[in-house]
C-alpha cells in the first residue's frame, strides 16, 4: 500500500526531495506518488507542511 498525496498539497516540493526512491513528481495542481515505486517509508508525510501524504 503506497502513500497517496491528497488535494491539500500546495506543491511546495519538500516531499520529493526527501523520498529515497524518487517516487514523487510534480503533477497537475499537486504532487503525485508513483504507487509502484513507493516503499512506505513515511518521509514525505513527515516533511509535508500541510499533512497531504496519507499512509495506511
Q: List residues binding ligand SF4 (CB under 6 A).
A: 3, 5, 9-15, 18-19, 21, 23-24, 31, 33, 38-44, 47-48, 50, 52-53
* Distance of closest approach, residue 24 Cβ to ligand SF4, in angstroms: 5
Instruction: Indicate the residue among 28 and 43 with the shorter CB distance to ligand SF4.
Output: 43
Distance CA(6)–CA(43), nearest Å, equals 15
Cell of 9: 498539497
Cell of 31: 504532487
Least distance to ligand SF4 from the beta carbon of 10, Å? 4
Beta-strand relationship, 4-5 and 53-54: antiparallel
Amino acid at each position: 500500500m503506497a502513500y497517496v498525496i491528497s488535494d491539500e498539497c500546495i506543491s511546495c516540493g519538500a516531499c520529493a526531495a526527501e523520498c529515497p526512491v524518487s517516487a514523487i513528481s510534480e503533477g497537475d495542481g499537486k504532487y503525485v506518488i508513483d504507487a509502484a515505486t513507493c516503499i512506505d517509508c513515511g518521509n514525505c508525510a513527515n516533511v509535508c507542511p500541510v499533512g497531504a501524504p496519507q499512509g495506511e
